[in-house]
């Protein structure tokens, strides 16, 4: 009804768009990385989960974590990864700043709980950490794997 007089490029609508963007920033929404599959922006560590016909593979991107300090548990189809990182000591030989203008690197303890398919065998898990990436491979149950069935002729 109002569309003939007020277009979407009208300054009134631009103000609403600016307000929407500011609200999204405030609540961590709206950017391409903000809410991928329900994970809030800045969630640490980032996680990728994939599978092959034989295994489920979890990639945990956690640079700066001492693998000896990581705690991994698997119960039913939930993988928990817990550890901590102190970035205040990561300045190397450089003098440590007394304050920061901007600080984007996560410091502190974290725990991620990753839901896995029910087809996994929690008794067959391997984990390795290299170059800041933890790779957890979990074998699938034998009965859950796809099997090729040969067709006999005759």
Half-sphere exposure of 121 (CA within 13 A, CB side): 13
pLDDT of residue 101: 77
pLDDT of residue 39: 46
pLDDT at 52 over 80: yes
pLDDT at 97 over 80: no
| Range 51-73 average pLDDT | 92
| Range 95-101 average pLDDT | 76
User: Which pair of structure tokens corresponds to residue 81?
Assistant: 């990864």
pLDDT of residue 85: 79
Mean pLDDT score of the chain:
79
Q: CATH number for 44-88+107-144: choose from 1.20.1260.10, 2.60.40.790, 2.130.10.30, 1.10.3720.10.
A: 2.60.40.790
**Cα dihedral across residues 130, 87, 100, 110: positive or negative:** positive
Per-domain residue ranges for the chain? 1-41, 44-88+107-144
Q: Which residue has the higher pLDDT, 99 or 33?
A: 99
């Amino acid at each position: 009804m109002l569309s003939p007089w007020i277009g979407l490029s009208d300054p009134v609508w631009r103000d609403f768009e600016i307000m929407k963007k500011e609200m999204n920033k405030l609540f961590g929404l709206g950017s391409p990385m903000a809410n991928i599959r329900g994970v809030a922006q800045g969630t640490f560590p980032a996680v990728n989960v994939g599978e092959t016909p034989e295994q489920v593979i979890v990639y945990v991107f956690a640079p700066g974590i001492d693998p000896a300090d990581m705690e991994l548990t698997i119960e039913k189809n939930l993988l928990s990864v817990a550890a901590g990182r102190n970035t205040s000591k990561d300045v190397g030989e450089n003098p440590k700043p007394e304050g920061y203008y901007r600080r984007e690197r996560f410091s502190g303890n974290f725990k991620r709980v990753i839901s896995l398919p029910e087809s996994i065998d929690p008794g067959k898990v391997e984990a390795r950490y290299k170059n800041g990436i933890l790779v957890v491979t979990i074998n699938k149950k034998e009965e859950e794997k796809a099997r090729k069935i040969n067709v006999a002729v005759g």
